[in-house]
Amino acid sequence: MNVGGLSAFRRLSTIASGGQALQLYRAIWRASRGMPTIRRKKFVRDKLREEFEAARHETDPSKVAFALEYAALQLDTVRIQAASLSKLVCDPMYHNKREI
């Protein structure tokens, strides 16, 4: 493969990864809505922005692939935590810690 072809392949790969990254960013943002408190939601969104900004200009294909896999894992984590924490916060015993 010639250098020009490789360069074009990298650009195409970066564009495709960018679309996938944007989908993951939006999915994590939406999943943060399920967090039971405003502080928890803000923490997730601040961390999301920080992580995506840190990886924004990455061009190494293996690092980009790792970052996308990591983001997908974090999406699952946010969804699970949102469900778990919401259930916990809704539990009356969570707010009333007195023993009966």
pLDDT tens per residue across span 54-90: 888 888 888 888 999 999 999 999 999 999 988 887 7
Residue 37 has pLDDT above 70, yes or no: yes
Three-state secondary structure string covering 65-78: HHHHHHHHHHHHHH
Evaluate whether 48 touches 32 at the Cβ level (below 8 Å): yes
Q: Is 3 exposed, middle or buried (0-12, 13-18, 19+ CB in 10 A)?
A: exposed
Residue 4 has pLDDT above 60, yes or no: no
Binned at pLDDT 50, 70 and 90, residue 99 comes out as: low
37-64 average pLDDT score:
91
Name the pTM for this structure: 0.74
